[in-house]
Structure 1
Amino acid sequence: MIELTTMTVRLIGSEPDGIRICHVEGESLTTVVVPRELLSEAKRLPDIPKRGIYYLLDEDHGVIGRVYAGQTTQGLARLDAHKSRKEFWNKAVMFLDDESNMDRDVLDALEADAIGYVRTHGSYETDNLETPQPYVNPYKEQTVKRLHKSILFRMAVLGYGLDRTDTAVAAGHALFHTRRNGIVANGCYDERTGRFTVLAGSQVDLSRPVLKNVGASEARKELFGEGSGVSTLRDDVAFGSPSSAAVFVLGGSQNGWTEWTNEAGETLDAAYRGKGTETR
């Protein structure tokens, strides 16, 4: 027998990367995906429940760099405070229902499960420093587990899987990125070894040849052969320096210490060395 789950996704304004409202057949939970810049528009949507949990994500093409989980009884309006106080997030995903289906006990326990999960899974950073320990009514434990399982399923279907593990990031290294020439790539730097790892899912601009960097040139040939255009990296690849990693991704001749930046806009140089040129 084939087991099927039907999940419907409504695109507000017919924009695939805009506001989305999602439902799973047979479940009352409503999922709302809200890009930060569209919060005002999202708050005008009618008939959106107000109770539930949410995730604030620093997300780029499915790669999550940072997560915060919380609960709300205000619905989408809860995001106003986070927009003014938390700068890191670019997308919020909310899981909402009515009070008749999600009372205070269930809400508190569901938030605790959500926070505990993001603190122990995946390779992203989290702003949740402690996991709440609410009283859980034993008659409601099954409901909480069912809801949390559905939430994790929906996050994965939407492309925001919370259990993704990137070994380099999991080791505790901050995430850096480049967006030059429309190329989107992410990586992390190991201060101890000086190595920089370009993460799976990053784009590589094969249309621009590598200049004077044997390591980057050989890595391109091994992974992409004589390919051209823009390709996507399937696995993490480590390089001996940030510049080699930048040249591998962008081609040409690059200074990785100024090319790679973090979510705060700091260059790798500013974050780790405080110097203007690369010596590696």
Structure 2
Amino acid sequence: MPFGKSIRIFLPEATVTGIRHAEIINRTGQAIACPRSRLDELKEWPETAKPGVYFLFEARLGDSKPMAYIGESESVAERLLSHDRKKDFWNEAVIFSNKDDNLSKSHIKYLESRLESLAKESDRYELENGNTPTQSSLSRSEREAMEELLEDIRLFLGTLGYPILEPLIQSSSTQPKIVPTATAENLAYGELKFSVRNVSALGLQTDEGFVLKKNSTASKTNTDSLSTRLVKLKEQLIADGRLVIEGDHLRLTKDILMSSSSYAAALIAGTSRSGPQSWYSEDGRSLKELEDKAVESSQ
């Protein structure tokens, strides 16, 4: 059972769009988020002159997956100045280091490799990394310490608005050290199914919205009742390969997060639908019945 954490975020200029420093109470890890336009100010932060790992993030635009880059350096601030000249896609960097100065080159190479692997598994961002970093060899005790730091990094990233390490749904390949966002076992409603005409989909209600599962099928055609936003989203998913044409229907190649069960059902059916009345549990109860029962139980 995971324990609760308290994350303290310092805003030196009392603004959420400037530099932010984050730390977890009674832990040695720390994070600094810095807009690209403020890189020259990092020299005022000795935390960024230490060995560490970092992420470069592209702002999320529309429904396409934003880009990200993961790297390591023995002096992160210097490396970021190099990226400022060579990489164009990013608008903010998030840096991670330790307060007690005990991260070696082997440690940060291990972290870089594990972070890239976890980010690929979560599949929320398009990674701009070219080569897969080699995972350095560490003793068992050092690996455990780095895995603990990975959990802190996951929390920092999510709190700062970048859930790049958060799986939409836990898979068998998800490392147990990283706590998943949602699993079929820890969700109140479990796996839900929706079938209409020649298409069928599986999904899960999560804290973030509704996840349509990989290999769900969707209608190739749309009716006039389908919202313009969903028509554009469908076109985007086809363009980037997350929806592929198979005969008389479309198939999802990856899990995708929708804002609601109704949006998810409408995307699948190609027409406006009520999610609570479209999705059903294994025992035949509608999502509406499950939600009504949950409300009654909480009263």
> TM-score w.r.t. structure 2 length?
0.55
Greater displacement, 11-20 / 53-62: 53-62
Which amino acid in structure 2 is aligned with residue 69 of structure 1?
A: I
1:66 is matched with: 67
1:126 is matched with 127
Counterpart of 2:83, as a letter, is H
Aligned 1:238-277 pairs, distance under 5 A:
238=267
The 1-side partners of 2:49 and 2:68 are apart by 23
Deviation, 1:59, is 2.8
Spell out, residue by residue over 1:221-249, the C-alpha distance to the aligned partner (whole angstroms, 9 max, x if none). xx7xxxxxxxxxx76964999xxxxxxxx
Residue 72 of structure 1 and its aligned partner are, at CA, apart by: 1.4
CA 158–61 in structure 1, closer or farther in 2 if over 3 Å, else same: farther
Tell me the equivalent position of 2:37: 37
- 1:104 matched to which residue of 2? 105
Residue in structure 2 matched with residue 160 of structure 1 by the alignment: 162
How many Å separate the matches in 1 of 2:90 and 2:118? 19
Structure 2 equivalent of residue 228 of structure 1: none
- Larger mean CA deviation between 24-33 and 46-55 belongs to 46-55
**What SS does the aligned partner of 1:43 have?**
helix
Residue 50 of structure 2 corresponds to 50
Q: Could you tell me which residue of structure 2 aligns to residue 217 of structure 1?
A: none
Deviation for aligned residue 1:51: 1.1
User: What is the distance in 2 between the residues matched to 1:33 and 1:170?
Assistant: 36
Residue 13 to residue 200, structure 1, CA distance change in 2 (3 Å)? farther
| Residue matched to 1:138 | 140
Matched ranges for 1:214-253 at <5 A: 238=267
1:82 aligns with 2:83: yes
Q: How far has the Cα of 1:4 moved from its partner?
A: 3.6
Q: Which runs of 5+ in 1 are unaligned?
A: 172-185, 202-222, 224-233, 242-280
| SS in structure 1 at match of 2:89 | coil
**Shift, 1:3, TM fit:** 4.4
CA displacement at 1:28 relative to structure 2:
1.7
- Name the CA distance, whole Å, in 1 between partners of 2:36 and 2:101: 29
The residue number in structure 2 matching 1:9 is 9
Q: For the residues of structure 2 that align with 1:147 and 1:20, how far apart are their CA atoms?
A: 19
User: Judging changes above 3 Å, is the alpha-carbon distance between structure 1 residues 35 and 8 closer, same or farther for their aligned structure 2 residues?
Assistant: same
Output the amino acid matched with 1:40: D
- CA displacement 1:12-44 (0-9 Å, x = unmatched): 311111110011111122200011112122333
Q: What letter corresponds to residue 22 of structure 1 in structure 2?
A: A
Q: Partner residue of 1:175?
A: none
Superposed CA RMSD in Å reads 4.0
Q: State the Cα distance separating 1:71 from its structure 2 match.
A: 0.6
Query: Where does the alignment leave 5 or more consecutive residues of structure 2 unmatched?
Result: 169-210, 217-231, 271-299
* Structure 1 residue 132 displacement after superposition: 1.6
- Give the drift of 1:155: 1.0
In structure 2, the CA distance between the partners of 1:87 and 1:137, relative to structure 1 (3 Å rule), is same
**Match of 2:151?**
149
**Letter of the 2:87 counterpart:** K
Change (3 A) 1:74 1:146: same
Closer/same/farther in 2, CA of residues 102 and 52 from structure 1, 3 Å limit: same
